[in-house]
Structure formats: C-alpha cells, structure tokens
Structure 1
Amino acid sequence: MAMAMGDDDHKKKKLHAIMISVPYQGHINPFVNLALLLASKGILVTFVHFEAVHHRLSSFHNLPPAGFNLFAGSGLDIRYTTISDGLHPLDYDRDIHFEDYWKIIMLQFQPRVDDFVGTLIRSNPDFAHFLVADTVFSWPAATAAKYGLVNVSFWTQPALIFTVAYHLDLMKQHHHYPYTDDGDEEINYIPGVKSINSKDLMSFVKEPMETRIINRSTYEVFREVKKADFVLHNTVQELESHTLSALSEYHPTYAIGPVNFAKNLPPIAMARSLWSETDCTSWLDSKPPGSVLYVSFGSFVHTNKELLKELANGLLLSGVNFLWVIREGILGSGGGAAVPEGYEEAVGSRAMIIPWCNQVKVLSNPSIGGFLSHCGWNSTVESIWCGVPMICYPMLYDQPTNRKLIVDDWTVGINLCDGDRVDRIEVADKIKKFMSGDTALRLRNQAQTMKKILKNAVEIDGSSTTNLDRFIHDLKAKMYGHPVNTS
C-alpha cells in the first residue's frame, strides 16, 4: 500500500485521479460516472480510454479521433486521453477474440501502462496523484507501488462477487475451488456470505485456473487487490450490508452505487455507448402500461442459435408484447441469422427487434412490465432503479451469482428455466405468469420497494452519498499524511 506523503508542499497540491477502466461497456459506464463524481468534488481527473474504444466512439459521432472528447460539455476539470492496448488494427474484433485479447492485456499491458503513468506524473509535477483502476486489472498494485501512488480499486459488480473471489484461497482449502462436483452444496464459511449454493458460484470458480485466461486472471486480480489502499463498490450499503461489513475488516470499503444514477451530475455531450442506439419511444408509447417485456442479453455475452430459436418461439407462443435487443455479434464468430426466417412477420406489431438501445430510457417507459435479462450487474441495477422486475437467464461469469441476489435474496425476479435446457413451452408459460396475475403483482410491488432503496442511497443524506464523502475525506487524510478514518 502507498505511504502517505506528508510534506507541506505536497499538502498544497490539488488531488489528481488517474482513472483506467477495462474496455467493456459494463465497466466504462460506471467509470465515466465516477469520474464525474470525483471531479464534482474538486478533484482533477485524467480519464484514460483504450485507443480502440476511443476509435469506436469517435466513429459513431463521425468525428476524427482527435476531435472526440468524451467529457465535452461537462464543465468539470476532467482531462481525456487514450492508451494503446498494443494490438492493431484498431477495428480488430477484440470481443470475438476475447481469450487472445485478454491474454495480451494480462501478460503484456503492464509495461505499457507503467510508462504511461510515469510520463503523466512527470509532466504534471504540481498535482498529488493517485490511481483509480478497475479491480479486474492485475497490474494496479505494482504500478502504484512503483510510483508511490495511493491505489484505489473500483469494483463495478456486487460485493457478493467480490468477497467470494477474494476468498478463493479459503475455498481452495475446503476443496471448493475449483468447484467441479455436479451436485448442489451450501457453502457457509466465506466471511460476509451467510450461505451460497454451489450452483450460484461464478462460472470461473467452477473451472480449473488453467482452463481459460479469465480464470487465471481472476485469481491474480484478487491476490493483487489485497494490496489496495481503498476499495470502492458500485453497490448500495442497504442491499449488501453484511457482505460490505465483512469486507471492511480487510480494507477501507465504500459502497457508493449506483454511480450511474448519482444526483446532480452534469450531462456530457458525447454518447458513451459502444453501439448505435435505436429510439424505441414511439413504439413503446403505443403499448398499454406494463404490457411490454424487454429482452436483452447485454453488451458482451455470446450465445448460440438453438437458445435463441427456443427463446424466439417461446416469446411468440406467450402472446405478450416484447422489445428484443439482438446486438451484432451475439452469436460470436459463427454469425448467421439470430431468429428464424419469417419470425418478424409472424410476431407482427406486438414485437420490435433492434440491435441496441438506450436501456435506461427503455426501462423507464411506462409500457415496460418486465425485463428478461442475462443478469449482468449494470442491467440488474438499471432494472431495479426503474422499478422493473426481472425474469432471469444467467449465462456465465458473475451472472449466476447476480441471479441469486435478484431471485433468492431480493425477490425481484424469477428464473426463466427450472433446469439447464431452454424449452419454448416452458419459456412461454413462465413469461405469461411473469407478465400477469399474482406473480406479476408481487414482483412489481417488491421492485418498487427496492427502487426506493436505490433512490434513497443517492440522496444528499443517503448512504452512497455519505460513503463517497467519507472516502474523499479518508483519501485526503491518506494523501496528506493524516491517519485514515476507517470507521
């Protein structure tokens, strides 16, 4: 951990956050909003995007890369710059080639970011620098130590995921990592986790470290995050109080979420989405309140034709109105048509199928009655914020564990399937029950209760606002040589 810098000259220097997110939509959005939050508190921010992301965003706006500034119009002291991931060309599909790409990030990116951070520090000697890096990176502790920086780790997923991964060594001692058994087993020894069933563990916990690069990377990430000075969590204290309390025994820990909905942040002129968005407002406004099922599997996961075929036929048989996001590349490198031939004609005016949209805008529309979701964390938070219950089909990574929170702990959703297989008849039956009757009423009432918890957290005296202020106070104490208040 970084040592405090306590000389009088240093105390006069303005705080400067060097912020670097992994290049995926579910991480970029929270990082952008955290940058706005920190800058609104008087901290200078240098926000570092990957060149490939910058190139993609600028192309959407038909601007030359040199003319694109993500924070244009914010009015805040945020400097926007880019770093190369070392891979060319810029339009190489890093999503489809995720395994190869993440191996490059894991094994080759650290020297590049070390040089970048060192140059940035040397060219700005009048500021007190600290690092705010995505927990998913494995290099921040080493880079922070090299330059004597305070190391702030920002975790963009729920605290439950963090604490399970944080205790992988403990799970290994109990022969639960990797968890390779077929049966269900309750795991009740992880600090901050009352109990979690083996079926709800993250996908990388169920495979040997050597199987995929993400497994090896995650183990190293959570070994290195133990060296962080502060850990910020994009969750809400009231939702995960037991878990967060346990984590605070290891680090100064702050639940500051949902940062995407922090109050009084200035708008920014440039869109941050990595896909062009379709405006669905007119179609949604033509439907009765609560009658539309929104369907999306998020910005990253890939699936197969068989699943989409059964889901498509289940939606058709259900008779409900639905808006379905099928983004380009969802079938991975296999490609091909995502829905059966003639499908859009068969569903007619009760359905709209689009490549991408502004999800919060859609979920906020009164016509939306539910969200069929892959259970990504951003989607989960956005759905709860809008008071929309979920029907869950998790696929991989953190999604099975998020499903546990949604369905079992917070009771704002149901499972799409009772087993592993997706069947159109079961899909249709589940959707009909989810969208109408007693189940729908119960879920919508609970979603409204959860919505209030999130809304209250970001109020002036809310827990997330208070935790952010406490973090900045403790950060200044650490940076300027005073004891850190961890209470």
Structure 2
Amino acid sequence: MANESGPRGPHVLLVTIPAPGHTAPFIELLYILRHHRNVTVTVVSGGPILAEIAKLHERGDFNDLDMNFESIFGPPPLYPQDPKFPIRAALASAHMETEFQGLKKRLIEKKGSVGAPTSLVADLFLWWTKDTADELGIPWYTVSTLPTWFTLCGFEFESLRAQDLHPIHSAQKFEKVVIPGLFGYVYDIPHECLEFPEFYANVTHHSLRATGLLFNSAFELEGTGSLEAVIQLVEQRKKSDPGKPLENTKVIPIGPLAQISGFGKWSTHTDEPNEAVKWLDTQEEGSVLYIAFGSMGNVIAEVIPRLALGLEESGVPFLWVLKTPTDKKIEDLLPEGFQARTQGRGFIETGWAPQPRILSHPATGGFLSHCGWNSTLESLCAGVPMITWPLSADQPLNARYVTDIQKVGVPVRDGPPEDYSTTVTKGDVSRAAQRLLVSVEAKEIKKRSLELKQRLSQTVSEGGSSYKGLDYFISELLKRVSL
C-alpha cells in the first residue's frame, strides 16, 4: 500500500473491472492526475489490466504519480446462456466482491493513518465498494463507463418491470419507450437490467448516494435527456432522504474520453509499423469500411459467411478485424475463394488492431460496429459514420442513438437486434455498406458526423462543460485530509 510517512496528502483508490472497456476511462484519469505532484494512486484490478498500466508507468507515462497496484481480481465467471456476450455485470460484480474482502480488511485496519486513501473511485457496477468508503469516512465516486441511458435503465428497472417492458418477451416490444430520458423501442432495452433485479436495486441505491456520479458523456453529446433524467432521480433522492454530508450527490459528465487525438491522453497513435495501417495507406481517402466487433462481443460463426459475401457484393474496400476461435482457421469461417476474389480490395486482420489509429486514418470512411460504448465514442470523436450491428447489453440503444438521434449512421437492417444473427443477409450488408460510403445520402451522413465531432471537441476543450466537470472532480480528489 501507500507511503506511511509525511503529511496525509491525496491518495486516490481506483477500483476497476478487469476488462478493457471498463478500464479505459480510469486510465484516462491517471493521465490527468499525472500533472499533479505528491499524489498517490492505488489501482485495484486484475493481473493483465494492471500489467498494461504498469508498462505505461514504467515508460514514464504517469510522471510523478506515486503509483501502487493491487492485483486481486481474477477472470470473471462466464454466462453461457448468451454466447454473443458471455459476461454479465451482476455475476462479475458478485465474484469481485468476494475477492475484495482481504484488501477491505487491510484498508480498514489502516483507517485514518498517514498514507490511507482519501477518496475511492470505482466502476458503477462495483456498488459494494461504497461500504468500504463509508467505513473509511472518505468520498465515494462511481464511474459509469457505459452510456448514460444504460445507467438510467438500471436505475429505472422497477418501472421497466412494472410496465412489462422486456425487450424480448413483452407484447409491447415493437412500441417506443416513453420513460423520461430513454428513447428507441422496447426491444432496444438492455434485458439484463430486468433479469438481475437485486443487482440493479443495489447499484441504484448506492449510486444515488455517491459523492459524485461520473459519466463518460456530455450534455452536448446526448440529445436524449438521459443526463437530465439521472439528475432528477438524484434530486428526488435528496428530497426524500438527504443522507450524509458525503452523499450530497453531484452528477458530473466528464466525456467523451476516447483514444482519439483531442479527446484523451492515452493513445495508441504511434509510428510503429502495422500491416493493417500500411494497407490503409494504399487506399483512397474515405473509401474503406472498417469492421470490428469489440474485445468481448462475438458474431456467431454462421453469420460470418453472409457478412463476407455482403462485403464482396458491395464493391467497397474493407478492413475486417476477424477473431477466430482457437480450434479454427480463418479458411474454415470464410466462403471458399472469398480471400482470393477480394484480394487487394480487402484486408483481414486476425490479431490485434490499433482501432483508434484506424478510425483516425484518412482512408477510413465508415465503421461497421457492434456499438460498444468505447467503440461508438471513438467513431463519433473521429467523425467516422457507422453501420450499426448491436449484439447485447447497451449496444442496441447505442445503435439507436447513432442512427435515430444523431443520424450519423445506418443500421445493418431494420428490426429487433436479437434477430440479426439469423436474419441479416448478404444483401443487407451490401446495401448498408453502399448506403454509408457511396450513396448520395452518404455525403449528408458524413457532414453530420464531422459536425458532431466538432461539438464534442468543444465539450472537452477549455471552457467546455465536460472540461469544467473534470476540473471540478480532480480538484475534489486532490483535497488534503487532516489526521
């Protein structure tokens, strides 16, 4: 743990879910805190994630931060009922709570001592860390690494259940949602918010009593009213239950934080050679469709041939990040002769790809995505239009936001996303690719994408709303605590 001598300066305890998408905003916070001297940070996570952060620290990315690492979380349990998205927050959180108990005991034993934490910042889903913060008598901040509308669905799960608004089983699944701050159709609602009610009850109860609720979002980003709806829930809680001094909850948008130049300090933009980027260098400006389904989502194997044939039929150049199962070769997944027929026009990457670098490349004209929040933010911040192919969790609402709210993308096909795995045809893929990249409509979509990018840039620039929110949050973290 931290240094045991000297005055009790700021010591921030960061507790993250050991998954890339959930950790990215916390790494951005480290880059911001590095500019402040005499700050101690202890990062609590799992081995692979901490190893990545340690490498950044070793090469000097975090300057004068006094950094400590607590590797206590193992791999999350799998949720085999959903092969497309095999991790559920409720199960992972419960598993991590058990693993946290030893560290919690040590923290409480050192309560109030020199070097003890002065604030605790945790992922929204790790609601149980509030009890530790309360016992230590320190502020507790929760970070929603998912979009505000997903968090709002979690907070409003009782209303969703009471109105029978289940995205799969409800008779109202094709109707529009009318709950304040939400949008889209009932079939877009993340069903896990309804299937794990005890978990989301705990998330809601604790989060609405946080010192601060941080969102990787901005008022200018949304256009949905989700942030305002969360603020109203917080104010309602304060009126009915004022709580303790450290529970004078503030809603603090600090985004978009993304690995795109101008939106984040952590960047994969390097001059290191990369075959995919080399291939992009040979393509015309704005011509390439980039395809990737994130670090955790999976498109089932039966869909891959249809996606491939659709790309072939479209005639557009493409860069496809295709994850292959360990027991299969890429030739087992793709239609016979596909690679030969698309040679030169297409590039398939089966390993790691520098997504921010690809999205920022002049040749990239569109992004076919599962619409995970980090991927969506990166695309919006790069000004790259999207083809939406959501799989699970927050992704259907993110996709609806892209296509219907901001109008900076098109769906791979209309209808409930739960049907995509069985109903998307090669014709759907071909039409969507042509619509996004070569149609008359494509110019208007690109124009809106660049306008949105400009608005988002203003939010994180000096004087912008998220710039002010982040500045306020950091100033609160850096307050010294008297022994």
Normalising by structure 1, report the TM-score: 0.81
For residue 379 of structure 1, report the CA deviation from its aligned partner.
0.8
Q: Confirm or deny that 1:281 pairs with 2:277.
A: yes
Instruction: Pick the aligned partner of 2:99 from 88, 92, 112.
Output: 112
Residue matched to 1:257:
255
Counterpart residue type for residue 231 of structure 1: L
> After superposition, what is the alpha-carbon deviation per residue over 1:15-58, rounded to whole angstroms, capped at 9, x for unaligned?
22111211111112221012222343554322223124346x49
Contact 1:34 1:259 in 2 (8 A): no
Instruction: Pick the aligned partner of 2:64 from 76, 90, 94.
Output: 76
Residue matched to 2:231:
248
For residue 244 of structure 1, report the CA deviation from its aligned partner.
1.6
For residue 108 of structure 1, report the CA deviation from its aligned partner.
4.0
Distance (Å, rounded) in 1 between the aligned partners of 2:63 and 2:294: 31
Distance (Å, rounded) in 1 between the aligned partners of 2:305 and 2:261: 39
Q: Confirm or deny that 1:185 pairs with 2:183.
A: no
Instruction: Pick the aligned partner of 1:31 from 9, 13, 26.
Output: 26
Helix, strand or coil: the match of 1:253?
A: strand
Alignment of 1:117-266 (within 5 A): 117-120=104-107, 122=110, 125-126=114-115, 129-176=118-165, 180-182=169-171, 183-188=173-178, 190-193=179-182, 195-205=183-193, 208-209=195-196, 217-240=199-222, 242-249=225-232, 250=234, 251-260=249-258
Report the more deviating stretch, 45-54 or 305-314.
45-54
Contact 2:290 2:367 in 1 (8 A): yes
Helix, strand or coil: the match of 1:408?
A: helix
Distance (Å, rounded) in 1 between the aligned partners of 2:261 and 2:155: 27
Alignment of 1:447-462 (within 5 A): 447-462=449-464
Q: Confirm or deny that 1:377 pairs with 2:400.
A: no
Distance (Å, rounded) in 1 between the aligned partners of 2:471 and 2:458: 16
Distance (Å, rounded) in 1 between the aligned partners of 2:48 and 2:299: 24
For residue 440 of structure 1, report the CA deviation from its aligned partner.
0.8
Instruction: Pick the aligned partner of 2:308 from 305, 312, 324.
Output: 312
For residue 309 of structure 1, report the CA deviation from its aligned partner.
1.2
Counterpart residue type for residue 431 of structure 1: A
Distance (Å, rounded) in 2 between the aligned partners of 1:165 and 1:100: 17
Contact 2:216 2:256 in 1 (8 A): yes
Distance (Å, rounded) in 2 between the aligned partners of 1:141 and 1:406: 34
Relative to 1, partners in 2 of residues 1:102 and 1:469: Cα closer, same or farther, differing over 3 Å?
closer
Counterpart residue type for residue 67 of structure 2: R
Alignment of 1:8-87 (within 5 A): 13-41=8-36, 43-54=39-50, 57=52, 69=57, 72-85=60-73
Residue matched to 1:396:
392
Q: Confirm or deny that 1:424 pairs with 2:407.
A: no
Counterpart residue type for residue 259 of structure 1: L
Distance (Å, rounded) in 1 between the aligned partners of 2:480 and 2:128: 21
For residue 233 of structure 1, report the CA deviation from its aligned partner.
0.3
Distance (Å, rounded) in 1 between the aligned partners of 2:25 and 2:56: 20
Counterpart residue type for residue 314 of structure 1: G
Distance (Å, rounded) in 1 between the aligned partners of 2:144 and 2:382: 22
Residue matched to 1:435:
437
Q: CA RMSD in A?
A: 3.5
Contact 1:74 1:266 in 2 (8 A): no
List gaps (5 residues or longer) in structure 1.
Answer: 1-11, 59-64, 210-214, 482-487
Relative to 1, partners in 2 of residues 1:378 and 1:173: Cα closer, same or farther, differing over 3 Å?
same
| Number of equivalent positions | 444
Counterpart residue type for residue 217 of structure 2: T
> After superposition, what is the alpha-carbon deviation per residue over 1:429-486, rounded to whole angstroms, capped at 9, x for unaligned?
22112211221101100000000011111111111111112234456789789xxxxx
Distance (Å, rounded) in 2 between the aligned partners of 1:335 and 1:227: 50
Helix, strand or coil: the match of 1:83?
A: strand
> After superposition, what is the alpha-carbon deviation per residue over 1:206-257, rounded to whole angstroms, capped at 9, x for unaligned?
x633xxxxx7644543343233221110012212363222322304111101
> After superposition, what is the alpha-carbon deviation per residue over 1:255-290, rounded to whole angstroms, capped at 9, x for unaligned?
10122358597668xx79xxx994422211111111
Counterpart residue type for residue 230 of structure 2: L
For residue 397 of structure 1, report the CA deviation from its aligned partner.
0.6
Contact 2:166 2:191 in 1 (8 A): no
Relative to 1, partners in 2 of residues 1:222 and 1:346: Cα closer, same or farther, differing over 3 Å?
farther
Residue matched to 1:6:
none
For residue 147 of structure 1, report the CA deviation from its aligned partner.
2.5
For residue 126 of structure 1, report the CA deviation from its aligned partner.
3.7
> After superposition, what is the alpha-carbon deviation per residue over 1:99-154, rounded to whole angstroms, capped at 9, x for unaligned?
68977643343243243245357296245521111112232222222322311000
Distance (Å, rounded) in 1 between the aligned partners of 2:120 and 2:141: 6
Alignment of 1:322-361 (within 5 A): 322-329=318-325, 337-354=332-349, 355-361=351-357
Contact 1:128 1:479 in 2 (8 A): no
Contact 1:324 1:352 in 2 (8 A): yes
Normalising by structure 2, report the TM-score: 0.81
Report the more deviating stretch, 343-352 or 75-84.
75-84
For residue 400 of structure 1, report the CA deviation from its aligned partner.
0.2
Distance (Å, rounded) in 1 between the aligned partners of 2:448 and 2:251: 28
Relative to 1, partners in 2 of residues 1:221 and 1:328: Cα closer, same or farther, differing over 3 Å?
farther
Helix, strand or coil: the match of 1:133?
A: strand
Relative to 1, partners in 2 of residues 1:298 and 1:109: Cα closer, same or farther, differing over 3 Å?
closer
For residue 338 of structure 1, report the CA deviation from its aligned partner.
3.2
List gaps (5 residues or longer) in structure 2.
Answer: 1-6, 235-248
Distance (Å, rounded) in 1 between the aligned partners of 2:129 and 2:456: 30
Helix, strand or coil: the match of 2:387?
A: strand
Counterpart residue type for residue 198 of structure 1: V
For residue 307 of structure 1, report the CA deviation from its aligned partner.
1.1
Counterpart residue type for residue 257 of structure 2: V
Contact 2:167 2:186 in 1 (8 A): no
Report the more deviating stretch, 119-128 or 345-354.
119-128
For residue 335 of structure 1, report the CA deviation from its aligned partner.
8.5
